[in-house]
Amino acid sequence: MKTLHEKGIHEPGVLDLRPLIELVRVLREPGGCPWDRVQTHTSMRRELVEEVYEMLEAIDDGDTAGMREEMGDVLLQVVFHARLAEEEGLFAMQDVIDDVVKKLVHRHPHVFGDTQVSGAGEVMRNWEELKAEEKTERTHALDGIAKGLPALMRAYKLSAKAAKTGFEWPDASSAWQKVQEEEKELQEAAEASDPDRTEEELGDLFFALAVYARKLGLEPETALNRANNKFQRRFQLLEEQVRAAGKEWKDLSAEEWEAGWNRAKTCLRQQSEK
């Protein structure tokens, strides 16, 4: 088995991206890994999304070791895509690094220039102004919101951009009234047994909730992801209870389901309080 050095790859140990860059190069070259060699930007899209979400999960869990590992996985995805682009003669990893450094310097004139700011709010206003100057191809107010974003996150970002034009609820209370209005319309559509309208009204309710979350200073995607993780942990505890009792899911009565779920909630609450 050849060492990394024998493969022409620098051994890890310095603050340097070259070990990873060269490792990916070897994987992609003839004689490398058959799986890596057939990958494309499109085929690797799912892996990139999954790695980002795994990193978010580690952050939410306060898992330092997990964050370190998942950051490496995310970095691998970036390096891999850069390698694909380099093979196509488009750009290399160094171009990616140079571009983002240049962009960050330009968007921080209060650090690298003479601009004075009073706080984080003014920093963000300057950032958006500088960004608009750079993105001259964007001619509509809602341009720049990726269609591939998770739907709830996209709703949040679309409403935030619209708000900058003045299209905005005055306060959280007004936004909540809109949520209640959409909830009523959804219920009416469901009671009318109209699937198409029900789907439309459900989407409107999700969008209204995204707006309400933003007015509260919260990110709905983060909130829903937290709820997903909480549900999974509770359900796993419930599953352990069922197994410990020597039962099957089908054996549980409605009362047993509820009692087990409440025990799981209490257990997790006690764990979080320690």
Instruction: Give the pLDDT confidence of 115-161 residue by residue, as tens digits.
Output: 888 888 888 888 777 777 777 676 677 777 888 788 898 999 999 88
Reply yes or no on whether the pLDDT at 14 is more than 80: no
pLDDT of the residue at 274: 63
- Any domain includes 96: no
Nearest residue to 261 (alpha-carbon basis) of 242, 246, 274: 242
Compute the distance between CA of residue 268 and CA of residue 226 in angstroms, rounded to an integer.
14
Which residue among 28, 63, 91 closes a domain? 91
pLDDT of the residue at 91: 96
Counting every residue, how long is the chain?
274
Task: Report the CATH number that the domain containing residue 208 is assigned in CATH.
Answer: 1.10.287.1080
Nearest residue to 41 (alpha-carbon basis) of 81, 9, 97: 81
Please, which pLDDT band fits residue 12 given cuts at 50, 70 and 90? low
Which residue among 72, 91, 110 closes a domain? 91
Domain hosting 76: range is 18-91
pTM score of the predicted model: 0.65
pLDDT of the residue at 259: 87
- Any domain includes 132: no
The rounded Cα 200 to chain-centroid distance in angstroms is 25
Average pLDDT taken over every residue of the chain:
88
- Return the number of other C-beta atoms located less than 10 Å from residue 266's C-beta: 11
Which residue among 198, 218, 238 closes a domain? 218
Please, which pLDDT band fits residue 248 given cuts at 50, 70 and 90? confident
Q: What angle do CA 75, 79, 85 make, to 5 degrees?
A: 150
